[in-house]
Amino acid sequence: MGITVYVTRDFEHMSEIAAGIVIKKIIETHKGKDEAVLGLATGSSPTGVYKHLAQAANNGQFDSGRIRSFNLDEYVGLPGDNVQQRVIHPESYAYFMIQEFFGLLKHKFIETRLPYGALIDQKTLIRELRENREDWTFKGTDAGKSIVIKAKPLSAYLAWIRKDVLDGYARKIKAAGGIDLQIIGVGGRGHVAFHESGIPFQGSAVMLVKLDDDTIANAVRDGHFPTTGDSPNYAVSMGAELVYQARTVLLLANGERKVESVTRSLLGDVTPEVPISYGQRYAAKGGNLIYVLDRIAGRELMANKGQLKKRSVTLKVMPDH
Ligand code: GLP
């Protein structure tokens, strides 16, 4: 299906164009089967899209009662002394989704899921990792790392994380028939979900991740946590290999912070250093990859039209209106 890049005017315009694409896809999917399965992201990038989608659903443009959704990631280690406290913490991705999207829908989705990161108690996790060094290995570089728990760990806690928290989430996606359309944003160093820069692509289904210092610093810079000490250090996240199994992947990016990763992801090599570069491999294998950018994020791509053309990327610069 290839790669299409839409360059829009600003955040509002980006949100409107992207929402139009999602709505069209949902309507099309509903013609072929009862349920549409959406993959959803958190962060500031998709918030405008969610407003438009909720409005369209509430106006009857599509039936939100025939949608299932799966989110990309959830923190482990939010402040709170039990699961309930962590789930309703205002920085949990569950809370974010209710506030920014699910709560706006008159007619709720059939099912909404987020990775079960809040179930893990960070202190217990750290202790079990420390006391059972043979049970797991790090995969990745100095930036972010995934913690790979081996098949038959001695620690019952780590065994439960592997089976129920990580593989359990992947099983739910599979049981739903896979994701029809996945919305993604772009994190620091071009990461997707919490597939941090440097984590290998191979075997990246649902992962337990030790967050990159850069990700933690961004979370503080964006005002999510007062200090790096308050920020969670781990997350449960879909890996690039799973994210890019969706039938369509829609990437949203706006602003200066995204320019380098977005440009490298399409004009550079496919490398785990820039996890979203995996999109090139996905498109080459027949995936439908769509970027919706604002003018700033798309600046360098627009300046390299020739190279994009050589790589069979369709560039659509949207007119002002
Ligand atoms: C975090 C999330 C990503 C998200 C990224 C960008 O790292 N785990 O899923 O894409 O932030 O957030 P924003 O859209 O606010 O720039």
Instruction: Count other C-beta atoms under 10 Å from residue 173's C-beta.
Output: 21
CA distances from 309 to 241, 255, 263, 287, 301 (A): 26, 24, 14, 18, 11
Residue partners of 185: CB distance under 8 A and separation at least 6: 41, 42, 43, 44, 45, 46, 251, 252, 253
Q: What is the pLDDT of residues 122-173, one digit of tens each?
A: 999 999 999 999 999 999 987 789 999 999 999 999 999 999 999 999 999 9
Decide whether any atom of ligand 1 lies within 6 Å of the 165 Cβ: no
Distance from the CA of 275 to the center of ligand 1, in angstroms? 13
Is the CB of 261 inside a 6 Å radius of any atom of ligand 1? no
Ligand 1 midpoint to CA 97 (Å): 13
What does pLDDT average to over the chain?
A: 96
Indicate whether residue 182 lines ligand 1 (CB < 6 A). Answer: no
Atom of ligand 1 nearest to the CA of 72: 9
Task: Report the separation in Å between the CA atom of 193 and the middle of ligand 1, taken as the mean of its atom positions.
Answer: 7
153 lines ligand 1 (CB under 6 A): no
Is residue 8 within 6 Å of ligand 1 at its C-beta?
A: no
Beta-sheet pairing, 248-253 with 288-294: parallel
**Whole-number pLDDT of residue 214:** 87
Report d(CA 67, CA 83) in Å as an integer. Answer: 27
> 9-64: per-residue pLDDT in tens?
999 999 999 999 999 999 999 999 999 999 999 999 999 999 999 999 999 999 99
What is the pLDDT at residue 43? 95
* Residue 5 confidence (pLDDT) above 70: yes
Ligand 1: does its nearest atom lie under 6 Å from the Cβ of 99? no
Please determine, for residue 70, whether its predicted confidence score (pLDDT) is greater than 80: yes
For the CA of 193, the closest atom of ligand 1 is: 9
The finding on whether 144 has its CB within 6 A of some atom of ligand 1 is: no
Q: Look at residue 321 and tell me whether its pLDDT is greater than 70.
A: no
CATH of region 2-317, choose from 3.40.50.10860, 3.40.50.720, 3.40.50.1360, 3.30.1280.10: 3.40.50.1360
Domain borders along the chain are: 2-317
Query: For a pocket test of ligand 1, which of 45, 216, 293 has the largest count of ligand atoms closer than 8 A to its C-beta?
Result: 45
C-alpha 83, offset from chain centre: 22
More confident residue, 142 or 310: 310
Q: Is the pTM of this model over 0.95?
A: yes
